[in-house]
């Protein structure tokens, strides 16, 4: 279905903030194997409209968290600013993942005037219609194939952080914050058995609350004590974990980006249905508790954790 790679296989090394242009669709298709992948990573139908457009590099994806597996190493891959999956080819999945872009799919761009300007959308053609979006009874996307597209992470945390500083992925100030967090977490684990920002409750059966929040509404995140009263001993409300990094937002106000109804589970490719859950504008994982992971996944908020303002 797809040809063997015809582009130069020696990858570029794009750094944070550089401008790149997504190659033409035909060029990218020529790099893919029979399952629509390059180096184990699928090129998804939702990425086609980006072909020919110019973007700024958000982060290098030299390592990434993989649900159920932990931190994994990756090579020759970057994230582009603001380019997230809309789930249109995957039954409307609302995870909103940042796309992983293999550097072979990109080329340098010196024309910053084209940054963010949408060119005429690439025509999908027959080849794109054969890009797989499912395998049997499970969905198939970059998220579900991430474990196979990555390798064991052999670097220790300190070495990884120093590498990030060298290539501009981590500032000295943020590095100092990570060192402080590491020390604080070690102390809290010894004293309390959990991370310093981790919240857990005592509920045997957690409750729910329906606010019917709509995009644009202003909400305030409840206090740690209020949220703790909604969680079980594993820090979950009806199966959804209140992540340690989310505690940093307690008491702050944000706009609702939209309700969250269904997401594809990374571990098994199944679609999971949710209720009374929203995503907040600009509130994404900063990698504070996960090895400076650059993935910037949306954080999911049960409505019972929020006050309508």
pLDDT tens-digit series, residues 146-198? 999 999 987 667 788 888 888 888 889 888 888 887 788 778 777 777 777 78
Are 272 and 289 contained in the same domain? yes
Q: What is the pLDDT of residue 288?
A: 80
Decide: 97 and 297 in contact? Cβ < 8 Å.
yes
| Domain match, 50 and 175 both | no
Domains held by the chain: number: 3
CA 218 – CA 242 distance, rounded (Å): 20
Give domain status of residue 11, yes or no.
Answer: no
**140 in the same domain as 46:** yes
User: What's the rounded Cα separation, in Å, for the pair 278 and 285?
Assistant: 15
What is residue 7's predicted lDDT score, i.e. its pLDDT? 47
CB atoms within 10 A of CB 31: 21
Same structural domain, 136 and 181? no
Residue 144 has a pLDDT of 97
Instruction: For residue 66, give the H/E element and its range.
Output: strand 63-66
Phi-psi region of 285 (alpha: psi -120 to 50; beta: other; left: phi over 0): beta
Is 279 inside any structural domain? yes
In a domain, 202, yes or no: no
| Domain's final residue, options 152, 171, 204 | 152
CA 71/CA 285 separation, integer angstroms: 14
Does 146 lie in the same domain as 127? yes
User: Which residue range(s) make up the domain with 301?
Assistant: 218-308
Cα distances (Å, whole numbers) of residue 98 to 1, 15, 149, 163? 27, 17, 16, 23
Is 169 in the same domain as 76?
Answer: no
Q: Are residues 124 and 43 in the same domain?
A: yes
The rounded distance, in Å, linking the Cα atoms of 119 and 15 is 24
Both tokens of residue 39?
A: 């180096």
Predicted TM-score (pTM) of the model is 0.88
């Amino acid at each position: 279905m797809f040809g063997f790679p015809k582009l130069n296989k020696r990858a570029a090394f794009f750094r944070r903030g550089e401008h790149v242009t997504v190659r033409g669709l035909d060029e990218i298709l020529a790099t893919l194997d029979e399952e629509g992948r390059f180096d184990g990573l699928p090129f998804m139908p939702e990425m086609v409209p980006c072909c020919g457009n110019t973007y700024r590099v958000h982060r290098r994806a030299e390592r990434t968290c993989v649900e159920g597996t932990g931190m994994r190493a990756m090579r020759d891959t970057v994230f582009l600013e603001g380019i997230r999956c809309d789930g249109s080819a995957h039954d409307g999945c609302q995870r909103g993942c940042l796309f992983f872009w293999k550097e072979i799919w990109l080329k340098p761009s010196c024309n910053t005037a084209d940054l963010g300007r949408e060119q005429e959308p690439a025509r999908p053609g027959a080849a794109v219609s054969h890009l797989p979006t499912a395998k049997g009874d499970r969905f198939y996307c970059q998220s579900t194939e991430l474990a196979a597209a990555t390798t064991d992470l052999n670097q220790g945390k300190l070495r990884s952080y120093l590498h990030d500083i060298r290539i501009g992925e981590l500032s000295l100030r943020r590095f100092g914050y990570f060192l402080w967090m590491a020390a604080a977490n070690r102390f809290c684990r010894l004293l309390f058995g959990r991370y310093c920002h981790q919240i857990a409750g005592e509920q045997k059966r957690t409750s729910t609350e329906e606010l019917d929040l709509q995009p644009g509404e202003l909400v305030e995140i409840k206090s740690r004590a209020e949220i703790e009263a909604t969680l079980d001993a594993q820090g979950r409300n009806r199966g959804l974990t209140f992540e340690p990094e989310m505690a940093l937002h307690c008491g702050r106000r944000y706009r609702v980006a939209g309700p969250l109804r269904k997401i594809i589970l990374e571990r098994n490719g199944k679609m999971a249905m949710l209720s009374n859950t929203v995503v907040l504008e600009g509130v994404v994982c900063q990698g504070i508790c996960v090895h400076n992971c650059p993935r910037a996944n949306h954080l999911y908020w049960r409505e019972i954790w929020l006050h309508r303002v």
